[in-house]
Amino acid sequence: MTTSPSRRAAAKSLALAAAGVAVSKSSAAGTPVNPSTNAKYKAVFAVSDADPARWNMVLGNIRNAQADLGADNVLIELVAYAGGIGMLKLDAETAQRVSEAARAGVLVSACENSMRGHNLTRAQLNPQTGTVPSGVGHLIRRQNEGYAYIRS
Amino acid sequence: MTTSPSRRAAAKSLALAAAGVAVSKSSAAGTPVNPSTNAKYKAVFAVSDADPARWNMVLGNIRNAQADLGADNVLIELVAYAGGIGMLKLDAETAQRVSEAARAGVLVSACENSMRGHNLTRAQLNPQTGTVPSGVGHLIRRQNEGYAYIRS
Amino acid sequence: MTTSPSRRAAAKSLALAAAGVAVSKSSAAGTPVNPSTNAKYKAVFAVSDADPARWNMVLGNIRNAQADLGADNVLIELVAYAGGIGMLKLDAETAQRVSEAARAGVLVSACENSMRGHNLTRAQLNPQTGTVPSGVGHLIRRQNEGYAYIRS
């Protein structure tokens, strides 16, 4: 994971603040927060299709899962790879919804192999996006860590 | 889960009776049976596509998994959401096979978010179908409970 | 699993030899090797679509996962069923890449139900392929054994 912990902590703080949740001084100050600390559930959502309808479906699914389980009870990560990498582009039709998901505490991770395969640089992706060396390798790690897996 | 336990127990009893399995008096009398009690394996099958060919594939897969693992050794739940919700409609071309699966002990669950999104009422769904608030939230819960996940 | 352990051990030995890894005398002599012994990660990749583009994607994903996690740290099995069974045919356009995956230590398993459904005999499949009675039943078993599940 090359994602900056402080960037994620800031996103989490914003999300909690927006949700009216008390944010501790340490996280408000940017101190890294491990978002999994208090989460009963962990889930990784995988997207590999170059299909905006599916991108919108998964973003709706994530929102519904947060509402169902309680946003504070579930740590959600979205991993985009293969054709799904397009979902994270700055000019994707889902760009605003991806930013909203990140602000609501969702970790967003792009596969570096897929970025190379699609000639995408970091600067072309949503600034809220982190990267992982291999999307599928990361999905295996996350399941090994006890994450549920939701394939879109 | 809003599914009535007694309805599920009745379906299970019918399934066991049809399979020539001795049914205990308590379950025959409608006393709720926890179908997971003796199951070594648990699996949740997810369907989200509005594609009858895929619906038939998953129903065949479920039957094959029961035959392979032993119907008494595996607790299977089918969760339909997004476009997959159409699979559970009373007038779906898969209606009879869904009823057969329920009679063979498969729990069938419809996503309430998807029902609203498709303007479907409970009365328009197969009477053997239960509902869950969020299909994807439910899939996360089930995996957290140790269910295998099969994405169709 | 009807796969011959010695065939798999031989494939593993070849793979290790090709990778410049020292192969113990016992495995070189064909003594069954349990490839999971030292693997921290285990993953089963499922393919059910009759879509060569997807077959190539999963083969690339497997290679990337091995590179990311370390080929010796991850035990990978590829399970083909339904329309995905075509991926394992001797004359599939992916035939050479499937053989390469097997030589790189990937277990390759064909669903016997799907073979019957597609009128395929063992002789028509890649010789590196093993078979399992039910692809989906096998995926449930593997997840129960702690394998991560990657749906293509």
Q: C133: distance to nearest CA of chain B, Å? A: 7
Structure tokens at A56: 């919108």
- Across chain C, mean pLDDT equals 83
Interface test with B, best of A58, A64, A106, A152 (most B CBs within 10 A): A64
pLDDT digits (tens, 9 = 90+) for B91-117: 999 999 999 999 999 999 999 999 999
Mean pLDDT rounded to a whole number for chain A: 83
Q: Any idea which of B52-56, C2-6, C20-24, C71-75 has the lowest mean pLDDT?
A: C20-24
CA distances from C62 to A85, B58, C117, C151 (A): 18, 25, 27, 12
CB-CB neighbors (< 8 A) of A133 in chain C: 68
Q: With 80 as the cut, is the pLDDT of residue B142 above it?
A: yes
Contact between residue B128 and residue B150 where contact means Cβ atoms under 8 Å apart:
no
Model confidence at A18, in pLDDT bands (50, 70, 90)?
A: very low
Residues of A in contact with B149 (CB under 8 A): 148-149
Dihedral (CA of B2, A69, B74, B109) sign = positive
Predicted confidence at residue A35, as pLDDT, reads: 52
Confidence of residue C38 (pLDDT cuts 50, 70, 90): confident
pLDDT reported for residue B13 = 42
- Determine whether A1 is exposed, middle or buried from the number of CB atoms within 10 Å of its CB (0-12, 13-18, 19+): middle
Comparing CA positions, the residue from C34, C61, C35, C32 lying closest to residue C46 is C61
**Neighbouring residues of B73: CB distance < 8 A, sequence distance ≥ 6:** B38, B39, B40, B41
- Closest in C113, C135, C139 to B148, CB measured: C139
Reported as a pLDDT band with limits 50, 70 and 90, residue B38 is confident
By Cβ distance, the residue of B134, B141, B144 closest to A64 is B134
pTM here?
0.81
Interface of C with A (CB under 8 A): 40-41, 43, 57, 61-62, 64-65, 67-69, 74, 148-151
Q: Which pLDDT band holds residue B27 (cuts at 50, 70, 90)?
A: very low
DSSP B42: E
